[in-house]
Amino acid sequence: MNEVLFGLVSSYGLPVVAISAFLSCLAVPIPTFAVMLAGGAFAATGDLGFWQVILTAYVAAMLGDQTGFQIGRWGGASVIAALSHKHARARLIERAQNDIRKWGGIGVFFSTWLFAPLGPWVNLVAGVVRMSWLRFTVWDFAGEAIWVTLYVSLGFLFGERLPELAELVGDWAGLISSLAVTVALGALIVRKAWHPSGTE
């Protein structure tokens, strides 16, 4: 899959970066990190412009997030119900709902890069619960800046070994997400231990 995406970026350049970034923010299963790595790698060789890749991926990701947010806002709870018929998807949506309830805008921020698989569902839920558009956009703006800059820069710096880099980053992203979930759960357990129900 990654090799196919590398070939598409090589042949078609920025449109592939834009389409993959936009669709991945709407829960289409595209490994966009690999596309951005490839964009950075081709920028290092001079085939693409470094800042053009970053700007294209960033604007497309923001548009994808805003689309998901507006779908949630206008579709309401019926959208959540329609999308929750698959068990795995229902679990992601439930987790996104919990994140929004607990963390609000910070949940949006971390879902764009640290918990990227949750991102599309957090966008949707943020719209459903009527989070302020400005609040959503500010946190989303900050999070997507990290996501895009990180992966494009890695591709730019280490793109001469692009296939190995994509495999390593894919494993690393999964590991980081798992560690982050573990840390978050640990923090909640400690918080509950220090503040038992009814004593806060």
- Answer whether residue 200 is part of any domain: no
| 112 CB burial (10 A radius; 0-12, 13-18, 19+) | buried
pLDDT at residue number 165? 76
- Answer whether residue 199 is part of any domain: no
* Contact criterion met (CB below 8 Å) for 137 and 66: yes
- Answer whether residue 182 is part of any domain: yes
Question: Looking at residue 131, what DSSP letter applies?
Answer: -
pLDDT at residue number 92? 74
Domain containing 114 equals: 2-194
* Contact criterion met (CB below 8 Å) for 15 and 23: no
pTM of the predicted structure, to 2 decimals: 0.77
User: What is the tally of structural domains in the chain?
Assistant: 1
Cα 43 from Cα 199, distance rounded (Å) = 56
- Answer whether residue 169 is part of any domain: yes
- Answer whether residue 11 is part of any domain: yes
**Residue-wise pLDDT tens for the chain (200 aa)?**
678 888 999 899 999 999 999 999 998 988 888 899 999 999 999 999 999 999 999 999 999 999 999 999 998 778 777 777 777 777 777 777 777 877 788 889 988 888 778 889 889 989 988 899 999 999 999 999 999 998 999 899 887 888 877 777 665 554 455 444 444 445 555 555 665 554 44
